[in-house]
Amino acid sequence: MAPEFATNEEIVRQARRRLNQEAWDYLTGASESETSMRRNRAGFDRLAFLPRTLVDVSNVDTSTTLMGHKLNAPVILAPMGTLQTLDREGGAASTKAAAEFGTLHVVSSVTQPSLEDISAATDAPKIFQLYIRGGWAWVEEMLGRINAAGYKGLCITVDTAVQSRRERVMMNRLARGGGSDRNPLYPATVTWELLDKIKETSGLPLMVKGIATAADASLAVEHGVDVVWVSNHGGRQLDHNRGTMDMLPEIVGVVGGRAEVIMDGGVQRGSDMAKALALGAKAVAIGKLQGWGLGADGAAGVQRVLEILAEELFVAMSLLGVTSVDQLTPDYVCPADIMTTPHEMSSWVNMPGDRLL
């Protein structure tokens, strides 16, 4: 039996060894110049900690709740399409990992197997993410299937009115992952009014993923959204967007506790989770890390990714002098210089290159 992964960098390296070039490019790439993706990471690196000492941290609790569900750590699995290209179990593997660890999987509507098969993989609660790929009759049919399969919430991704130009994938001449039945007309017609109708019809708690401004966050709250999801699609949609950590404070301020706020984009470590929570997020979501875990060792690899993040968060909280995640506030972070040149002490400096030698 192989030794257990000690770090998430080891998981990334193993994924690189196992995945073919096309799958690697799909997973690691972003749109056009990939500036939005790089800004996501820079947003974390521009923050430093302000630790407090001589605090009793003999009992540190990393757990939280989201949408009424307990999470063993404030991290969930983001919806990712085409997971079957990373592991043969596809979305079922991620769902199993989330259940074993104790968190939520937001299941993509453009991954395999079917939404029913993924739901049946575990009894644990899970959320379904829906891309609008048809008219109202199609939406109603999908909502019926989602409810019948026992999903506990619904996520609508709102930053995909059109498909972006993801050049790493384009150069491999791959299909774009949305499925041959996706009519490009329908995503472009999604409005707040349609979201209202979906929420009322589904009867499920609603996440809206892809909020990038205070103005849209305010509208989301006015429309009764339960979770405002700060995201730029991992840098995979609009390029030259802000990093999500740069968006987070103003969105948290506008929401004002009337909905839960989560974020994704650039999360690599438990210390990143601590920074996001300090700025007001209830939890973070992981996409690329989830994919690397799948590529490295299927469901077990994703579970180990989550365990390592939780271990890192425990260490960060203990050394910051906090014993529960709700104690993390802006008082624990401050702006700092950013290291722009990778070096031997960079996060994941040994991450393998994009192309095989």
- Given a cut of 80, whether residue 144 has pLDDT beyond it is yes
Extended strands (E) in the chain: 47-49, 64-66, 69-71, 75-77, 106-107, 127-130, 153-157, 206-211, 227-230, 260-264, 283-286, 333-335
Domain positions in the chain are 8-53+63-321
pLDDT at residue number 183: 63
What gap in Å lies between CA 182 and CA 77, rounded to an integer? 24
Amino acid at 231: S
- Given a cut of 90, whether residue 310 has pLDDT beyond it is yes
Task: Using CB atoms within 10 Å of the CB of residue 299, give its burial: 0 to 12 exposed, 13 to 18 middle, 19+ buried.
Answer: buried
pLDDT at residue number 349: 60
The pTM for the full model equals 0.93
Place of tokens 């996060």: 347
What gap in Å lies between CA 26 and CA 177, rounded to an integer? 9
- Given a cut of 70, whether residue 322 has pLDDT beyond it is yes
What confidence tens digit (pLDDT) does each residue in 223-266 have? 999 999 999 999 999 999 999 999 999 999 999 999 999 999 99
pLDDT at residue number 356: 45
The catalytic residue positions are 233
Instruction: State the fold for domain 8-53+63-321.
Output: TIM Barrel (3.20.20)
- Given a cut of 70, whether residue 137 has pLDDT beyond it is yes
**239: left (phi > 0), else alpha (psi -120 to 50), else beta?**
beta
CA distances 352 to 17, 165, 322, 355, Å, are 9, 24, 35, 8
What gap in Å lies between CA 292 and CA 94, rounded to an integer? 11
